[in-house]
């Protein structure tokens, strides 16, 4: 018996982690214990004298990792959303341990022999289609991990993986420190033109840092509206440069040397495994298959998007001159003049619309759509969670428990920036009916006590996007956790999330749930019409800044590692002729998608790849009777949302739609192609 709650069987409701009993001191023991025990169990499987079977090899491997997955799920979720000094130190200590653990399994020759034997004998085994798929993916993983290499190459791979784990961890922590440490005081005499919601958010941001007055931080939900509404050009410049310059400052948080080394090690790792470069290695198992396929998509969208952005630039430049500023439009000017232009052309501004987008009601809207589409209901729970800001719901379908959904929506020090979906536990039916515990994390500005949290239209889109990921997790219905939920190709995983964004824009949803924060009146049809007509407003800018990041990510990984990554990134941007008034959505020095983890390295394009499918998939709903057509929703659930990675992504999409899409639907959706 142990007093460590992470190592005990959880008797909590729905077997939630016992958050109210977990302390930082528990993690080190629990991580060490579960890593050691899991590896011992894996070694027993590899060393077994019994002939390999699916049960004593593949299923045994999955069972061996159950407790480790529980502990790791708690640690990394809390590290991302509630970081502190103790947890950051543990991350540094354990990152190479996790890399070593992974290598000890993936480079275990005897274990691979058992898996490979099963693969070779598959025609003689009575395996289900799902079991064959799990076997195939396990074998592919061993081969891509280098199990077939000689011992010298294997040892070098081990070293590279452990070093990369340490480097990406340091990158992540440096960016978090930059975001936590920086703020800009905004005196009250410089609040002119700032909307009330932003002033309130600045005040709360100051209080979180034990300061009086008002401050801007590097939280996107603060800095973007500041750039939209502040008429103080000199302050916009300071804030913008701090935002895009994270990681490039001459201080202890500088990431330049880290990303240079990350790229060098990734390139060497790919070459050891027999690939020309890291992009070739990463993209082999994605829908895109190759860098050329990715480049083809990005180039199809680049020229129409750039053409639109340049036309918009000329309009904003003229507005700048009309304000008496004898200068060229700068990146810190774009959002300010775009917002002024929106008011002129569409007769509404973000501040006006924001009163109708309350977090609680937008959550209800997401739940309502999930109910209409998939029959899900949500019952709020009163259970201990990891932070007082979190809320939890039991998710039910036809009265049957489907999942626990946790929402963690407010920005705070120690939470990394951005928005994401994660799991404390994944779905599986092996070993019993195990349902997921899924969490959505965002960084919305927390309101004063008793006041509603008001979202921008883009914030609301983010909420629906992450909830789409959550649906992919919560509706999963496969036997093995290895392929459940969002464990799919990187350029397929964004399909459910981006598809669900479409329901946020439906007039019947916004009319029902878009209630004014003070009067309770539904959003007027005239304002709603303006918002929806303006949905593609400034789309040239949004597409160009995204594509710039995608091009840089692809080219950095599809070539020899540069001696100076930041200089190379600038060369790439010059080559594609990025307008100087627009910067990358994620600057190279703070590109966490790519350098804080390996998840989106050479894969940032995947949002657009998935958007090709999401635009086509929503067209399917409209063609077949409307956005809530039940037959279409059933196919979406059966072939995509519940299917995990039980088949190749192409096959899953064709099973739903009947064919693969072209880029035309995306170009039309973004307003670059006439309907």
Decide if 362 contacts 454 (C-beta within 8 A). no
Q: Are residues 230 and 263 in the same domain?
A: no
Q: Are residues 208 and 306 in the same domain?
A: no
Q: Are residues 313 and 267 in the same domain?
A: yes
Nearest CA to 264 out of 553, 559, 561 is that of 561
Q: Are residues 186 and 292 in the same domain?
A: no
What's the order of all strands across the beta sheet hosting 420-425? Answer: 376-381, 391-397, 400-410, 437-444, 420-425
Decide if 469 contacts 390 (C-beta within 8 A). no
Catalytic annotation on 234? no
In this structure, is residue 618 part of a structural domain?
no
Q: Are residues 197 and 80 in the same domain?
A: no
Q: Is the dihedral of CA 300, 301, 302, 303 positive or negative?
A: positive
In this structure, is residue 514 part of a structural domain?
no
Nearest CA to 243 out of 617, 541, 540, 587 is that of 587
Domain boundary among 121, 144, 167: 144
Tokens for 341? Answer: 């232009």
Q: Which domain holds residue 95?
A: 5-106+108-144
- Residue 64 to residues 40, 142, 338, 599, Cα–Cα distance (Å): 9, 17, 55, 24
The total domain count for the chain is 3
Domain boundary among 604, 635, 653: 604
Looking up residue 84, the CATH number of its domain turns out to be 1.20.1050.40
The pLDDT score that the predictor gives to residue 675 is 42
Cβ atoms within 10 Å of 103's Cβ, excluding its own: 20
Q: Are residues 240 and 260 in the same domain?
A: no
In this structure, is residue 86 part of a structural domain?
yes
Nearest CA to 545 out of 237, 223, 285, 302 is that of 302
Looking up residue 310, the CATH number of its domain turns out to be 1.10.1370.10
In this structure, is residue 219 part of a structural domain?
yes
3-state secondary structure 526-589: HHHHHHHHCCCCCHHHHHHHHHHHHHHHHHHHCCCCCCCHHHHHHHHHHHCCCCCCCCCCCCHH
Domain boundary among 562, 582, 604: 604
In this structure, is residue 492 part of a structural domain?
no
In this structure, is residue 172 part of a structural domain?
no
Bridge partners of residue 615, in order along the sequence: none
In this structure, is residue 53 part of a structural domain?
yes
Q: Are residues 16 and 138 in the same domain?
A: yes
The pLDDT score that the predictor gives to residue 350 is 80
Q: Are residues 260 and 237 in the same domain?
A: no
pLDDT tens readout for residues 129-183 = 999 999 999 999 999 999 989 999 999 999 999 999 999 999 999 999 999 899 9
Q: Are residues 120 and 192 in the same domain?
A: no
Q: Tokens 């929506």 label which residue?
A: 409
How confident is the chain (675 residues) per 10-residue block, as mean pLDDT?
90 97 96 97 97 97 96 97 95 94 95 96 94 97 94 95 95 93 95 92 92 93 94 97 95 96 98 97 95 95 96 97 96 97 89 92 98 98 97 97 98 91 97 96 92 93 98 98 96 96 96 95 94 91 97 97 96 97 96 93 95 94 97 98 97 96 87 71
Q: Are residues 211 and 286 in the same domain?
A: no
Q: Are residues 309 and 263 in the same domain?
A: yes
**Type and span of the H or E element at 263:** helix 256-272
In this structure, is residue 645 part of a structural domain?
no
Q: Is the dihedral of CA 600, 601, 605, 606 positive or negative?
A: negative
pTM: predicted TM-score of the whole model, two decimal places = 0.93
The active-site residue, picked from 91, 280, 466, 494, is: 466
Q: How far apart are CA 590 and CA 593, in angstroms?
A: 9
**Type and span of the H or E element at 102:** helix 85-106
Q: Are residues 203 and 276 in the same domain?
A: no
């Amino acid at each position: 018996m142990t007093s460590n709650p992470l190592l005990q069987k959880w008797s909590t409701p729905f077997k939630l982690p016992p958050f109210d009993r977990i302390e930082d001191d528990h993690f080190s023991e629990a991580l060490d214990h579960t890593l050691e025990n899991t590896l011992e169990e894996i070694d027993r499987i590899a060393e077994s004298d019994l002939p390999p079977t699916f049960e004593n090899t593949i299923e045994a491997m999955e069972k061996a990792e159950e407790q480790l997955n529980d502990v790791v799920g708690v640690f990394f979720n809390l590290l991302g959303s509630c970081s502190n000094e103790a947890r950051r130190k543990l991350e540094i200590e354990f990152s190479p341990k996790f890399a070593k653990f992974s290598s000890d399994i993936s480079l275990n020759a005897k274990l691979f022999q058992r898996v490979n034997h099963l693969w070779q004998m598959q025609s003689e085994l009575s395996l289900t289609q799902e079991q064959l798929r799990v076997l195939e993916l396990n074998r592919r993983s061993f081969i891509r991990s280098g199990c077939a290499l000689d011992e010298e190459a294997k040892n070098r791979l081990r070293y590279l993986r452990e070093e990369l784990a340490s480097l990406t961890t340091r990158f992540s922590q440096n960016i978090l420190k930059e975001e936590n440490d920086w703020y800009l005081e905004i005196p009250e005499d410089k609040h002119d033109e700032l909307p009330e919601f932003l002033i309130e958010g600045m005040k709360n941001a100051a209080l979180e840092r034990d300061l009086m007055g008002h401050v801007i931080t590097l939280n996107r939900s603060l800095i973007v509206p500041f750039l939209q509404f502040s008429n103080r050009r000199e302050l916009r410049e300071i804030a913008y440069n701090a935002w895009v310059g994270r990681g490039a400052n001459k201080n202890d948080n500088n990431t330049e040397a880290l990303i240079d080394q990350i790229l060098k090690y990734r390139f060497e790792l790919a070459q050891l495994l027999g690939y020309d470069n890291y992009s070739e290695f990463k993209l082999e198992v994605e829908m895109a298959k190759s860098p050329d396929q990715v480049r083809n998509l990005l180039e199809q969208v680049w020229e129409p998007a750039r053409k639109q952005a340049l036309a918009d630039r000329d309009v904003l430049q003229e507005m700048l001159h009309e304000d008496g500023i004898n200068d060229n439009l700068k990146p810190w000017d774009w959002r300010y003049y775009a917002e002024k232009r929106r008011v002129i052309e569409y007769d509404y501004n973000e501040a006006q619309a924001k009163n109708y987008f309350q977090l609680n009601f937008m959550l209800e809207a997401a739940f309502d759509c999930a109910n209409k589409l998939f029959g899900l209901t949500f019952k709020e729970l009163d259970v201990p969670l990891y932070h007082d800001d979190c809320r939890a719901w039991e998710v039910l379908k036809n009265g049957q428990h489907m999942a626990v959904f946790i929402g963690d929506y407010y920005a705070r020090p120690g939470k990394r920036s951005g928005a994401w979906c994660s799991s404390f536990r994944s779905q599986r039916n092996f070993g019993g009916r195990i349902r997921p515990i899924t969490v959505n994390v965002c960084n919305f500005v927390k309101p004063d006590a008793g006041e509603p949290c008001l979202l921008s239209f883009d914030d609301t889109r983010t909420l629906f996007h992450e909830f789409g990921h959550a649906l992919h997790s919560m509706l999963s219905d496969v036997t093995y956790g290895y392929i459940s939920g969002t464990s799919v190709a990187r350029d397929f995983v964004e399909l459910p999330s981006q598809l669900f964004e479409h329901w946020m824009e439906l007039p019947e949803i916004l009319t029902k749930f878009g209630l004014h924060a003070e009067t309770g009146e539904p959003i007027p049809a005239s304002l709603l019409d303006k918002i929806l007509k303006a949905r593609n407003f400034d789309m040239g800018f949004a597409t160009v800044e995204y594509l710039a990041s995608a091009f840089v990510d692809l080219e950095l990984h599809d070539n020899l590692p540069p001696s100076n990554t930041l200089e190379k990134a600038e060369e790439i941007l010059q080559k594609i002729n990025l307008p100087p008034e627009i910067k990358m959505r994620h600057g190279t020095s703070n590109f966490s998608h790519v350098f804080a983890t390996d998840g989106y390295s050479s894969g940032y394009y995947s949002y657009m790849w998935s958007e090709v499918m999401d635009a086509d998939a929503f067209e399917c709903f409209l063609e077949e009777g409307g956005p809530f057509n039940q037959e279409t929703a059933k196919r979406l659930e059966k072939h995509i949302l519940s299917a995990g990675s039980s088949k190749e992504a192409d096959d899953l999409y064709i099973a739903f739609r009947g064919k693969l899409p072209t880029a035309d639907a995306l170009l039309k959706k973004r307003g670059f192609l006439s309907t």
